[in-house]
Amino acid sequence: MFENLTDKLQAVFKRLGKRGILREADVEEVLREIRLALLEADVHYKVVKDFVGRIRERAIGAEITKSLSPAQQVVKIVHAELIETLGQPGRLELKGPAPYVLMLVGLQGSGKTTMVAKLSRHLKKGGHLPLMVAGDTYRPAAIRQLEVLGRQLEMPVYSEGQHVPPPKICANSVREARQRGYDVVILDTAGRLQIDDEMMGELEAVKRAVNPVETLLVADAMTGQEAVNVAAGFNERVGLTGLILTKVDGDARGGAAISMRAVTGVPIKFLGTGEKTDALEVFHPDRLASRVLGMGDVLTLIERAESTFDQEQAEHLERKIREASFDLEDFLDQFQQIRQMGPLSQLLGMVPGLSQMMDDVSPEVTDQQFKRIEAIILSMTPEERRNPRVFNASRKRRVARGSGTTVQEVNALLKQFRQMQQVMKQMGKGKRGLRGVMRLFG
């Protein structure tokens, strides 16, 4: 299987052998790949259908910008559309008279109890006084779990044990909060299936009793096609105001988020990103969109590359490669341009798989190492940079001393450069041109 959508599309375009304006027939094949990628990411079948329809409209006739390959261009359209579907990140709406009641609902095992603790901690940091409420009287030790979390956080938990009906516990907890000056009440509820009529009825009763400002569906990022039914089911019975996606720290693509957004229209408010109570993140639509497409944050990278590499420099470089006159001076130029795009460690993080590609350059390319490479080249004379063949032991020693590195490091760099020259020579012969070189750099 291919790594991600960009790779797949690249393969399609290669087969098509076309550049320039996208034609309708090409678009259909591209759309098929988009469709499969989204389905693999667990986006619901019907949501994908609508989505692909919108992409079709945007992609046909779209002009390809010169700095992007057709594949990248299509991915950019898909990405933009995904971000639109995911919507803006929602904030907690704490409006009206305090105490503000937040009610967490969801299936069994989605992570509600942990999320109550995380939200509580988050709100306390924001200057609120939250009260956590143990409203799950069904699951064995659920109350105790919340009490333990409360102790760990040194924050209050309201509980009446497991023999009082949850609507009553919740109503009492709000009264308690009002009396004792807590301004936010966070209700834990038992996990339940959206088709369990009796249990959903109980949830409606809780809602009537406490009139929450937020009713948040807590859903596992790993959820499959069911996400649509779950979100629709809860929304119908209790009227959701937001979504919280949990277990985002795993490797699930998180297409469920798109499905749930599509059927409920309510904003995604938070992401749970770990087991500890501080592992709570605000939702970024662009990052989740990239993740759904299985491509890291490669779009930010594309955009940065577009703004960093100007056309003239690119042509100059392409000529140099074709003439096989690429020297250490150009090497330094390239390094410096890439560094302008941001810290290297961050750039590498945006491209899944890139670090493996860079393996033969250096096992762990860090910003530190980049600086050392720069220092070594800067310590060379212009003649040495243009013609590294003049290097002998004494020159190497001088450069090492001048750059505060060792002869071994100088040797390693020269070796890397020679390898790179060879690759470029081969590329110069072929017609891959600049784009191939840029790919070499990342």
Where along the sequence are the contacts to another protein (CB under 8 A)? 1, 36, 39-42, 44-45, 107-111, 138-142, 144-149, 152, 193-195, 220, 222-227, 229-230, 247, 249-253, 255-256, 275
> Which residues does 68 contact at the CB level (< 8 Å), separation at least 6?
76, 302, 306
CB-based burial label for 435 (10 Å; 0-12, 13-18, 19+): middle
CB of 172 to another protein, least distance (A): 22
**Cα 356 off chain centre by:** 20
CB of 162 to another protein, least distance (A): 10
Nearer to another protein, 195 or 357 (CB): 195
Structure token pair of residue 317:
């470089």
Write the DSSP assignment of 239-257 as a string of letters: ---EEEEE-TTSS---HHH
Nearer to another protein, 69 or 114 (CB): 114
Nearer to another protein, 291 or 396 (CB): 291
Nearer to another protein, 110 or 173 (CB): 110
CB of 103 to another protein, least distance (A): 19
- The answer to whether the beta carbons of residues 146 and 113 sit under 8 Å apart is yes
For 16-43, b/e burial (b = at least 16 CB within 10 A) is: eeeeeebeeebbeebbebbbebbeebbb
CB of 263 to another protein, least distance (A): 14
DSSP H helical segments within 41-107, as ranges?
Answer: 45-59, 70-86
- Give the DSSP letter of residue 96: S
Task: Name the helix (H) or strand (E) containing 402.
Answer: helix 393-403
Nearer to another protein, 194 or 403 (CB): 194
Give residue for tokens 């961050």: 346
CB of 142 to another protein, least distance (A): 8
Nearer to another protein, 11 or 195 (CB): 195
Nearer to another protein, 21 or 193 (CB): 193
CB of 225 to another protein, least distance (A): 5
200: left (phi over 0), alpha (psi -120 to 50) or beta: alpha
CB of 328 to another protein, least distance (A): 39
